[in-house]
Amino acid sequence: MSQIRVVLPFHLRNLAHVGNEITVSVADPVTVSSILDAIELAYPVLKGTIREHQTHKRRAFLRFFACAEDISLEPPTETLPEPISSGREPFLIIGAIAGG
Amino acid sequence: MSQVRVLVGSKKGAFVCTADGQRKDWKIEGPFFGGWEIYHAKGSPVDPNRIYVSQSSGWFGQIIQRSDDGGKTWNPPGSAPEDLVSAQGWPQGESNKFTYEGETGTHLWYDGTPHPWEFKRVWHLEPSLTDADVVYAGVEDAALFQSKDAGTTWSELSGLRQHTTGKDWQPGAGGMCLHTILIDPTAPNRIWVAISAAGCFRTDDGGLTWKPTNKGLVSSFMPNPEAEVGHCVHRIASHASKPNTLYMQKHWDVMRSDDSGDNWTKVSGNLPCDFGFPIDVHAHKPETIYVVPIKSDGEHFPPEGKLRVYRSKTGGNEWEALTNGLPQQDCYVNVLRDAMAVDSLDDCGIYFGTTGGQVYVSADGGDNWSAINEHFPSVLSVEVQTLR
């Protein structure tokens, strides 16, 4: 199991009652899907807030970043880079910026 | 000593306002769920300490919150540690899971083409009149859901959406939302709902089957202005002592039915304008009703810049303007459909909130008004609980 660091958007931190960063245990291979599975297992209140309940479609205004790359449109089953799986870099879930 | 608790849903959080029976000095708590849109908050008439909240966001979707201590603390239902993981080890967390039953099917999109039903948010929560664990949710795209476990899980009462006319329903400008749920206090299996822009529907069997109840409504924007469905009903209301008499604020027209919605007649009478969103009924006088006229569907602000509640003591047709304490110049706010409520103190209190962030109260049935607060975020909903 890999210990994956994840940074959540402000509102989801509040919802899950966690700080800036969480760590979840993820079995290899580490992918977006397996990280989200682990987040939802550890914090069920976040189910449906990052991806849709049934389709697992990413919510439109959220983006996924790994190693400074926007990987939101990559297949969610693709293996993530070593800095993420080793825990050197956090996996970022970011809310799209909107003004007003 | 009697108390009232006003639940304000706004575009940026929820607020709980409390006062004694005088309704002059207010304590305001919040924002709860700061930054989220609170479409609706409503307490259970069975257990006033139990309050349900619809919390939503374009980013993160739908959340249901529940308080069991009158709004002091909140949790998504079923989020106690022992509830979070099932016996199989899977995360539960399904209080925000609203899944349409059976074939999802399609309704009509704005351009008249078929469009799949897609859940977007909960507009309205209606707690049962007899069981604090039972609550109904009106959602967009229009459907009615029920929870029997205090909001922990939800199932659709699919007979409504699967009505033969469902495929022909079309959204209004605000989306295709089920925004009003009225439960008959004398016959719990009888429920009315209102949908923009499909119209009003009634079930007499607890939600298994539904009947459109729109006869008498005329909507000039429709190809057939008197069609069975397609009317943009903004709100319906009734009084507990006369549940078969219904009042309606339609897109245009204020309407009344005295036969449970089977037939409607126009009671706009001498209103300066009969466009508007909310309508409500005095707690002790079933023929005394309130609306807030808005200039037009294209100009969502009060006529002449004067914020006026109109009251009819005759169940419609004859209306009087209530202005004392309300801004009578340069006022350009709107009052949304779920943003008016009445308490049940002896001298009935009337409450409404505006898109400008004001929440007003009248402790004397509408004669005089004062602001509970003038600087909330844009108000989406107002409910009041009378605590004795």
Q: What residue numbers bound the domain in which A89 lies? A: 2-95
Residues of A with Cβ-Cβ distance to B57 under 8 angstroms: 11
The reply to whether A100 falls in a domain is no
The reply to whether A56 falls in a domain is yes
Task: Report domain extents, chain B.
Answer: 37-372
Q: Which pLDDT score is estimated for B89? A: 58
Tell which of B12, B38, B57, B60 to mutate to test the A interface (max A CBs under 10 Å). B60
Residues of B with Cβ-Cβ distance to A36 under 8 angstroms: none
3-state secondary structure chain B: CCEEEEEEEECCEEEEEEEECCCCCCEEEEEECCCCEEEEEEECCCCCCCEEEEEEECCCEEEEEEECCCCCCCECCCCCHHHHECCCCCECCCCCCCCCCCCCCEEECCCCCEEECCCCEEEEEEECCCCCCCEEEEEECCEEEEECCCCCCCEECCCCCCCCCHHHCCCECCECEEEEEEECCCCCCCEEEEEECCEEEEECCCCCCCEECCCCCCCCCCCCCCCCCCCCEEEEEEECCEEEEEEEEECECEEEECCCCCCCEECCCCCCCCECCCEEECCCCCCCEEECCECCCCCCCCHHHCCCEEEECCCCCCCEEECCCCCCCCCCCCCCCECEEECCCCCCCEEEECCCCCEEEECCCCCCCEEEECCCCCEEEEEEEEEC
The reply to whether A22 falls in a domain is yes
Q: CB–CB of B79 and A12 under 8 A?
A: no
35-54 of A, contacting B, C-beta below 8 A: 40-50, 52-54
Of B60, B91, B97, the CB nearest to A59: B60
Q: CB–CB of B76 and A46 under 8 A?
A: no
Of B36, B57, B93, the CB nearest to A44: B93
Q: Which pLDDT score is estimated for B85? A: 59
Does residue A59 register a pLDDT over 60? yes
Q: Report the number of distinct structural domains present in chain A.
A: 1
Q: Which pLDDT score is estimated for B107? A: 96
Tell me the pLDDT of chain B averaged across its residues: 95
The reply to whether A29 falls in a domain is yes
Confidence bin at B91 (pLDDT 50/70/90): low
The reply to whether A41 falls in a domain is yes
Asked if A58 reaches chain B (Cβ–Cβ under 8 Å), the answer is: no
Task: Pick the more confident residue, B380 or A17.
Answer: B380
pLDDT digits (tens, 9 = 90+) for B151-183: 999 999 999 999 999 999 999 888 999 999 999
Asked if A61 reaches chain B (Cβ–Cβ under 8 Å), the answer is: yes
Mean pLDDT for A57-61 is: 95
Q: Which pLDDT score is estimated for B188? A: 87
Q: Which pLDDT score is estimated for B94? A: 86
pLDDT digits (tens, 9 = 90+) for B230-275: 999 999 999 999 999 999 999 999 999 999 999 999 999 999 999 9
In this structure, which topology does domain B37-372 adopt according to CATH?
Methylamine Dehydrogenase; Chain H (2.130.10)
CATH number, domain of A58, equals 3.10.20.30
